[in-house]
Amino acid sequence: MEKLKKRWGLESNWQIIVVLFVFAITGSSSAYLGKPLLEFFELDRETFSKGFFFGGLGYYSLRLIVIFPIYQVLLVGYGWLFGQFRFFWNFEKKMLKRMGLRKLIP
């Protein structure tokens, strides 16, 4: 736990638990919200299995593309709700910079 606290710049074990909890609920929530969003645009699994863009590969690729921005917003939002906004905002900025998306960072 000490290595993780030092690496992430956290002060207590409680903060580590909160951060890990936020990561868990963010991943679950974004995956849960991705499917209805695609269904709203009538892009469900059955549509892709009829031969449109390599079947399931196309559906799951599109779903990952949709989930990515949802995850980013939820991560900062849940971080704020659980009192760890600064950690998740810095985490978000670092991740987007590493992905080459510096233009999205204010």
Summarize pLDDT for 18-65 with one digit per residue, the tens.
Answer: 999 999 999 999 999 988 888 888 777 777 766 655 667 777 888 888
Query: Percent helix, strand and coil across the chain, each rounded to 5?
Result: 80, 0, 20
Helix (H, G, I), strand (E, B) or coil at 41: coil
Count of CA atoms in the C-beta half-sphere (13 A) of 39? 7
**What's the pLDDT score for residue 91?**
92
Stretch among 6-15, 22-31, 57-66, 78-87 having the lowest mean pLDDT: 57-66
Residue spans per domain, the chain:
15-101
What count of other Cβ atoms lies within 10 Å of the Cβ of residue 15?
Answer: 18
DSSP symbol at 100: T
Residue 82's φ and ψ, nearest 5 degrees, are -95, 15
**What's the pLDDT score for residue 52?**
55
Q: Is the pLDDT of residue 94 over 70?
A: yes
Q: Is the pLDDT of residue 80 over 80?
A: yes
